[in-house]
Amino acid sequence: MDATGTIKVVCALVEQFGRVLVTQRSEHMREALLWEFPGGKVEACETETACLVREIREELNIAIAPYQRLKPVVHGYPGRTIELIPYLCHYGGGVIRLHEHRSYHWVSPADLANYTWCPADLPVVQEYLQLLKNRE
């Protein structure tokens, strides 16, 4: 959390074979059953990328290598505000085992718009689609 009370959350856009990994929050989590890019809250004495690597290993059992930070999104949920910080990541090995999430999909860019996203993720999806267009 920073001085304004905003909660810092990092999330990973893990890419493999032209698809990106998306996860569905479980019924027990806040924002239940909505889709997100996996990640979590940054602890006080941890870098963003170290946090992301740790969270993805803990939640999904895979290794990742973050390589590009995207534009952070500040979003107000009832009672709290988060700053969602996305990173493009390479998949670094391991077999996905879900420890917290309900489900996961490897999604092609054209299908990203069909998911029911956490509201904070909508600008991230838009930026990612734009970035892919510029890569062509």
**By the criterion CB under 6 A, which residues form the site for ligand 8DG?**
9, 11, 29-31, 36-41, 82, 84, 118, 120-121
Minimum CB distance to ligand 8DG smaller for 27 or for 136: 27
Minimum CB distance to ligand 8DG smaller for 37 or for 87: 37
Neighbours of 15 (CB within 10 A): 18
Length of the chain: 136
- 36: tokens are 């997100």
Residue 134 CB, nearest distance to ligand 8DG (Å)?
Answer: 22
Q: Which residue has the tokens 């969602």?
A: 84
Minimum CB distance to ligand 8DG smaller for 15 or for 121: 121
Residue 126 CB, nearest distance to ligand 8DG (Å)?
Answer: 13
Contact between residue 36 and residue 117 where contact means Cβ atoms under 8 Å apart: yes
Residue 110 CB, nearest distance to ligand 8DG (Å)?
Answer: 20
What is the rounded CA–CA span in Å between residue 54 and residue 63? 9
Residue 77 CB, nearest distance to ligand 8DG (Å)?
Answer: 6
80-91/7-16 β-pairing: parallel
